[in-house]
Amino acid sequence: MLGSITPLGERGRGSRWLLTVTAYVIGSTLGGAAIGSLLGLAGSSFASRTAVTVRLAVLAVAVLGGLLVDLGAFGLRLPTVPRQVDEGWRGGYRGWVWGFGFGIQLGTGVVTVVTTSTVYATWLAAGLSGGVVAGAVIGATFGVVRAAPVLSVAGVRRPDQLLRVAAPAVPGAVVRWANFPLPVTKNTYAAEVADDLRPGDVLVSLVELDPALADRGLYAGQGVPRVRADELDPRAIQAAGPGRLGVQRFFSLHGRAFGLYVMVREGPRLELSLRALNASLRSLTVGVG
């Protein structure tokens, strides 16, 4: 995400970084405040009849339980959705428009992939806060904190600076598999290829992530997953379009964390293409981290 909102990137799109980022932060703040106020209202009746100490105890138990889930205890996995923000917005709308749209979605915390239980703990706190105003304050604070990291790339004005920012997010290799000639791309998930997908085309990006993520939380699943046609979802596509489907899976193998991003286009060859993909994934060999 940070690599997509930089002075360098916005200059290339003919937009002003400060305007895009301001819209992004405002959107994230409003998105968080909206969810927080709704949850504060929904929980106000319970909160009014429950002592503060009891509510804090409930929150503490939930935080502890979330920590166990994040650590992958007892095989638990964090509930989430397969959806991503639509990267196609960046090319189709003005910077402040897509910045605000991205902010609203990410500020709610739960309409895109959830990677940590603290998101759910925040919304529980809003529900236990006792009212609309308190819930809105908690939500707005979450939105600001969620958006704040984008300010760390304010100095990215050259390609070499962007590489230094993006590198920690993807410390390992990026391996791609496609059943069509794949053009050279520097995008981690090759999102720009989406417009050229033909019916039955499949593109996979396997990305190694920070090893500290391995074997817990979202990455508690072990082994390379099998990609099924019934789990492909248009909401999981970064660059949405007619007939485009995708799925993003996270897993660990030999103490290493990976993200698997699959992008396809519906067509008569799709089932055959998925069988070939799964055969290739089964043959994948990963060394011990």
Over residues 213-241, mean pLDDT: 81
Query: Residue ranges of the alpha helices (H) in 212-283?
Result: 270-282
Over residues 125-146, mean pLDDT: 95
Break the chain into its structural domains and give their ranges.
Answer: 2-164, 170-282
pLDDT of residue 79: 86
Count Cα atoms within 13 angstroms, Cβ side, for 140: 10
Contacts of 143 (CB under 8 A, 6+ apart): 28, 29, 30, 31, 32, 33, 103, 107
Average pLDDT value for the chain: 84
Least confident of 82-91, 105-114, 206-215, 268-277: 82-91
pTM: 0.64
Give the C-alpha separation, 234 to 197, whole Å. 14
pLDDT above 70 for 164: no
Q: Is 175 helix (H, G, I), strand (E, B) or coil?
A: strand
Give the C-alpha separation, 258 to 224, whole Å. 9
pLDDT of residue 121: 95
